[in-house]
Chain A
């Protein structure tokens, strides 16, 4: 469902590259982990998928759609098909957990009835029923990340993109987040996740793409963290 065709991304100096001739594809319902050192190009890769960044060469396809040919006005529409989770959570600070999740649905133009039904469901899926009306600053890191995941899945996207979702979390919270992501994957959503964490990779025990210096150096279907 995601297809990278010979994608390169050069920096403005024209010589150093964040991505070099990257080609791979992700099938529906896969759980793909992307590993590599800082600066290996993992985040750039994810930004290509949500059209936050433009490739210098090559193309990125979402199903049959060329992602970088989407007109700017249609971008919000496209992004609603993808749920995103970030290392720094990116919650709206002035909104409660409930409102943060509801916002994604409001932006999507869903009806009030749908929102009233789906938001509690999404928050229940991440085990946050009891902190629905808390503001982000009243939540722990793991709780914030769970709100972010609830927000990412509430519109029932085809794919979840998680950029270092456990990067700021302690081991227990990390374990919980990984379990939630696995559960989401088992319910039928494709997940692409970047990580540094060896334990996380071993726990998931699924496909691992290893990047180094902007290139894909390994692609193992039942991967281990090898660097």
Chain B
């Protein structure tokens, strides 16, 4: 048994080396497939992260009238935080609002003057609400309206909810995010399918050139495992080598792409690559080995029949 395994290994390695041309072609095709798969992994990461940053920038603000009582605002904040769709709610007091306003209009003499003349703080407190998904802002806005109608229909504490103002851009962003996610998935599926088929076909061709050998091995009385073993081992080697090459190939590419993407998406792909290089290699090697092994096994099964 042990001798058998040793012989399969030796024969597989020697075969890989002696049919170097065919082996190299298979490895390169598999490298391209894995590169495509890896690229979709990076693209997916890039999209996810940039969507997250984009989403975190979208919020709705509830502006309260200046005379709104503090406990009512607190009550509303607690109610909002209890909603399952709400990610976070942050409170800005009247004084803080004034401070922010002052800072923002530091150079603006007229605005400062107007503020002086008023003698009192004209600004109300605000609540900034972040939803988990952009599509949930509508419900939150509705909830606020209902709350308002219930609590104090005659003396409204909410001056304005800027959801209605932001509505259009929020809706647009939501639909863009949906479209990008759907298109991304579709592209991923097509690319994956194409690369799997190409790999499978290449390895099948590589084994097709060996079909005569397989029939000779059978005539000499070699058992099926003894014939199949070296070819399957070669499939595994194709996968491993291709994963290694693909990971290597990403380095110069990302080195070149990183500054551009960082400026645009606020996400450094090169950092992600170096931080996750082992994970990326393991994923690609796993896919490569399975692809190589399955392709080899399927291709040989054809020629092993009597």
Contact surface of A with B, Cβ cutoff 8 Å: 50-52, 72, 75-80, 84, 90-94, 103-104, 106-109, 111-112, 151, 155
CB distance from B209 to the nearest CB of A (A): 10
Q: Which residues from 217 to 231 on chain B have a C-beta closer than 8 Å to any C-beta of chain A? A: 217-224, 226
Residues on B with beta carbons closer than 8 Å to the beta carbon of A72: 306
Binary contact track B235-264/A, C-beta < 8 Å → 1, others 0: 000000000000000000000000000000
Looking across the interface, which residue of chain B has its beta carbon closest to that of A80? Answer: B221
CB distance from B237 to the nearest CB of A (A): 16
Given that A92-B213, A112-B3 are known contacts, is A107 also in contact with B306, CB under 8 Å in the complex? no
Looking across the interface, which residue of chain A has its beta carbon closest to that of B222? Answer: A107
CB distance from A113 to the nearest CB of B (A): 11
Given that A52-B306, A72-B306, A92-B216 are known contacts, is A107 also in contact with B223, CB under 8 Å in the complex? yes
Q: Are A76 and B306 in contact (CB under 8 A)?
A: no
Looking across the interface, which residue of chain A has its beta carbon closest to that of B226? Answer: A107
Contact partner of B15 (CB less than 8 A), chosen from A52, A94, A107, is A94
How many B residues touch the partner, as a band? Answer: 20 to 34
Residues on B with beta carbons closer than 8 Å to the beta carbon of A104: 220-221
Residues on A with beta carbons closer than 8 Å to the beta carbon of B182: none
Q: Using a Cβ cutoff of 8 Å, how many contacts connect chains A and B?
A: 55
| Cβ-closest 5 pairs across A and B | A107-B222, A80-B221, A79-B221, A94-B18, A76-B223
CB distance from B245 to the nearest CB of A (A): 24
B19 within 8 A of A: yes
B156 within 8 A of A: no
Q: Are B213 and A94 in contact (CB under 8 A)?
A: yes
Q: Are A84 and B219 in contact (CB under 8 A)?
A: yes
Given that A76-B222, A76-B223, A112-B3 are known contacts, is A107 also in contact with B217, CB under 8 Å in the complex? yes
Further contacts, 5 of them, CB under 8 A, given A80-B220, A92-B213, A107-B223:
A79-B220, A79-B221, A92-B217, A103-B217, A111-B3
Residues on A with beta carbons closer than 8 Å to the beta carbon of B218: 76, 79
Q: Which residues from 1 to 54 on chain B have a C-beta closer than 8 Å to any C-beta of chain A? A: 3-4, 7, 14-15, 18-19
Binary contact track B193-228/A, C-beta < 8 Å → 1, others 0: 000000000000000000011011111111110100
Q: Are B219 and A79 in contact (CB under 8 A)?
A: yes
Residues on A with beta carbons closer than 8 Å to the beta carbon of B7: 106
Residues on B with beta carbons closer than 8 Å to the beta carbon of A52: 219, 306
Q: Which of A103, A112, A151 has the most CB of B within 10 A?
A: A103
Complex CA–CA separation, A219 to B164 (angstroms): 105
Residues on A with beta carbons closer than 8 Å to the beta carbon of B4: 109
Q: Are B221 and A108 in contact (CB under 8 A)?
A: yes
CB distance from A19 to the nearest CB of B (A): 18
Looking across the interface, which residue of chain A has its beta carbon closest to that of B305? Answer: A72
Q: Are A93 and B213 in contact (CB under 8 A)?
A: yes
Contact partner of B216 (CB less than 8 A), chosen from A50, A91, A112, is A91
Complex CA–CA separation, A84 to B219 (angstroms): 8
Looking across the interface, which residue of chain B has its beta carbon closest to that of A75? Answer: B306
Q: Are B220 and A50 in contact (CB under 8 A)?
A: no
Give 27 CB contacts A-B under 8 Å: A50-B219, A52-B219, A52-B306, A76-B218, A76-B221, A77-B221, A78-B221, A79-B220, A80-B221, A84-B219, A84-B220, A90-B212, A90-B216, A91-B216, A92-B216, A94-B14, A94-B15, A94-B18, A103-B217, A103-B220, A103-B222, A104-B220, A106-B226, A107-B217, A107-B220, A107-B222, A109-B4
Complex CA–CA separation, A84 to B136 (angstroms): 77
Residues on A with beta carbons closer than 8 Å to the beta carbon of B220: 79-80, 84, 103-104, 107, 151
CB distance from A88 to the nearest CB of B (A): 10
Residues on A with beta carbons closer than 8 Å to the beta carbon of B18: 94
Residues on B with beta carbons closer than 8 Å to the beta carbon of A78: 221
CB distance from A51 to the nearest CB of B (A): 8
Residues on A with beta carbons closer than 8 Å to the beta carbon of B217: 92, 103, 107
